[in-house]
Amino acid sequence: MRTNGVVFLVAELRDRAYEHVTSELKRLGMTTLAPSHGAILITLYREKALSLKDLALHINKKKSSTTELVDKLIQLGYVEKTVSPDDLRVKQVRLTQKSLSHKADFKALSEQVNARLFKGFSEAEQQSLVALLAKSLANY
């Protein structure tokens, strides 16, 4: 098996997964959302509220890119910024009722994407793939 095409394969996988998620978001009636918005929402479903800095770390994006995505989600009514109860200087991003009403949709979509990605993989293969991709990513 050739190994010099791995970046192409990873890019192709990303493109196909994004295309699939985009079509599913449209099917669910969330035509204004992009897959990168889903990463923020899923993180906030788990973490409840995060500063922009912490949110950027969780989704592995630059703070400026995260701010842009959050601003769009605010505009669409999915998240809001509030003052941190621990530090009044810090703004936190948290979910609105609109995004909470779609929690089950996002959970199902996330499970569907993972099931499709790992179809035919053993548990050990799944763990290996994740570990190896994380190790490769750390090289950059």
User: 76 with 32: CB under 8 angstroms?
Assistant: yes
Average pLDDT, the chain: 93
What is the Cα–Cα distance from 116 to 18, expressed in whole angstroms?
Answer: 13
User: Which numeric CATH code is attached to 35-138?
Assistant: 1.10.10.10
Cα 127-128-132 angle, rounded to 5 deg? 120
Domains of the chain by residue range: 35-138
Express each pLDDT in 40-85 by its tens digit: 999 999 999 999 999 999 999 999 999 999 999 999 999 999 998 8
pLDDT at residue 26, rounded to an integer? 93
Q: Say whether pTM exceeds 0.85.
A: no
Cα-based distances in Å from 25 to 20, 33, 35, 59, 86 = 9, 7, 8, 19, 35
Confidence band, pLDDT 50/70/90 cuts, at residue 140: confident
Q: 117: which 2 tokens?
A: 């990605």
CA dihedral (40, 44, 46, 49) in degrees, to 10, reads 150
User: 13 with 45: CB under 8 angstroms?
Assistant: no
Maximum pairwise Cα distance, the chain: 55
Express each pLDDT in 27-38 by its tens digit: 999 999 999 999
